Amino acid sequence: MRKAFKTSSKEVIASLLDQADIVINGSRPWDIQVFDERFYDHILLFGSLGLGESYLGGWWESESLDQFFYKLLRGRIDRNFKACLPLVIIHLKSRILNRQNLSRSGQVGVRHYDLGNELFEHMLDTSMSYSCGYWQNAGNLEQAQQAKLDMICRKLQLDRGMRLLDIGCGWGGLVEYAARNYGVEAVGITISKEQVKLARKRCGGLPIEIRQQDYREVRETFDAIVSVGMFEHVGYKNYQDFMEMVSRSLRKNGLFLLHTIASNKTTYNCDPWFDKYIFPNGMLPSARQLAEVTENCFVLEDWHNFGTHYDKTLLAWYRNFETGWPQLQDKYGGEFFRMWKYYLLSLAGGFRARHIQLWQIVYSSCGLEKGYQSIRCLNCA
């Protein structure tokens, strides 16, 4: 009788990686070096969470982590994994619970944005913009972020005397830029106490109010509203409430700009590793989800995808983080360095592979009578 052979977990993983042109213990920059044989079982049991946690544990390495993820995701290898336990658990939690309700909304502030302003000052540009830069005519991160800030102001058609609301204002870079260059008054809201502290300092003397406040608590009207890199924390169960809040807060003929990372397909939860280690309770919206919650609130004026620019932005952040690490390492420790490296470079690979997108969408309250002029670069239409 012929003896049956059982395929080992190592053979399964090797076969999957081969489909993406990744070789275990290969010599190319994107190949993976495995130092602990537990790696293979861990990936099959825990999927993306296992991949990330085994990296934190030093079980594997890749010389070019961003290229490893580019190859992995461009080859759509993630689709060959069956739903693992962590993914099932987080999916059930997301379907049963409102993981981004008012009582939970501050969790991401405490666990991510309040990690320490010193960390983000080393990583970001001088405007402290923690979102995708616009690199069309930019030669460095500073120029890319300045171009992004100006493009947002122009898309919103800001003018002197207007009142702007920035939902998720971060460290105040956008409202400061808009006040200095376009003469607006502004209110910036964030759930991070550390962001509030620094934003108030940098915006001192300008007609800007910075509040530690949830978007659900806003009860005023504005000429223009913007949200940059915050909608990823809203959650699909709150999308309708968010859009209705913006709609009632936006004056007639006002414009609303939504800048958000987005998913190619409709999902209801975040990647388990990112949920546990980077952005608790986060999730990325899809085009279908946005269309469903905005059709009764706004007229869609413009939809701009520049997700490929996030690749360059993340690589610039990583270089800054790596350069600044000697001043940060005593506070954060070696495991944090691996976690942050994995976070930044895996996302860079994801955007490069077009696995995830970056959208700027402009909505009007009831449709601009003379139409809307799309803006795509600095000083040009």
Strand partners, 9: none
Rounded distance between C-alpha atoms, residue 134 and residue 113, angstroms: 22
Mean pLDDT of 58-83: 88
Mean pLDDT computed over 359-380: 89
pLDDT at 290: 98
CB of 216 closer than 8 Å to CB of 101: no
Find all residues with CB under 8 Å of 205, minimum gap 6, and list them: none
| Stretch among 9-23, 98-112, 132-146, 243-257 having the lowest mean pLDDT | 98-112
Percentage of the chain lying above the pLDDT 70 cut? 90
Cα 79 to Cα 47, 72, 305, 313, distances in angstroms: 11, 10, 24, 27
- What burial letters (b/e) apply to 199-219, b meaning 16+ CB within 10 Å? bbebbeebebebbbebbeebe
* CATH superfamily, region 105-364: Vaccinia Virus protein VP39 (3.40.50.150)
Q: Which of 320, 247, 310 is nearest to 284 (CA)?
A: 310
Our CA dihedral for 255, 256, 257, 260, rounded to 10 degrees, sits at -170
Taking all residues of the chain, what is their mean pLDDT, rounded to a whole number?
91
Tens-digit pLDDT profile for residues 286-340: 999 999 999 999 999 999 999 999 999 999 999 999 999 999 999 999 999 999 9
Digit-coded pLDDT (tens) for 186-235: 999 999 999 999 999 999 999 999 999 999 999 999 999 999 999 999 99
- When pLDDT is cut at 50, 70 and 90, the band that residue 98 belongs to is low
Where in the chain is CATH 3.40.50.150?
Answer: 105-364
pLDDT level of residue 4 (50, 70, 90 thresholds): very low
Which pLDDT score is estimated for 1? 42
Q: What is the 3-class SS of the chain, one letter each residue?
A: CCCCCCCCHHHHHHHHHHHCCCCECCCCCCCEEECCCHHHHHHHHHHHHHHHHHHHCCCEECCCHHHHHHHHHHCCHHHHCCCCHHHHHHHHHHHHCCCCCCCCCCHHHHHHHCCCHHHHHHHCCCCCCCCCCCCCCCCCHHHHHHHHHHHHHHHCCCCCCCEEEEECCCCCHHHHHHHHHHCCEEEEEECCHHHHHHHHHHCCCCCEEEEECCHHHCCCCEEEEEEECCHHHCCHHHHHHHHHHHHHHEEEEEEEEEEEEEECCCCCCCCHHHHHHCCCCCCCCCHHHHHHHHCCCCEEEEEEECCHHHHHHHHHHHHHHHHHHHHHHHHHCHHHHHHHHHHHHHHHHHHHCCCEEEEEEEEECCCCCCCCCCCCECCEC
The CA distance from 233 to 229, in Å, is 9
pLDDT band for position 100 (cuts 50, 70, 90) = low
Average pLDDT for residues 60-78, to the nearest whole number?
94
367: left (phi over 0), alpha (psi -120 to 50) or beta: left
Indicate if the pLDDT at residue 101 is higher than 80.
no
pLDDT of res. 6: 56
Report the C-alpha gap between 153 and 177 in whole angstroms: 9
pLDDT at 108: 81
**What is the pTM (predicted TM-score) of this model?**
0.92
pLDDT tens by residue, 19-60: 999 999 999 999 999 999 999 998 888 889 999 999 999 999
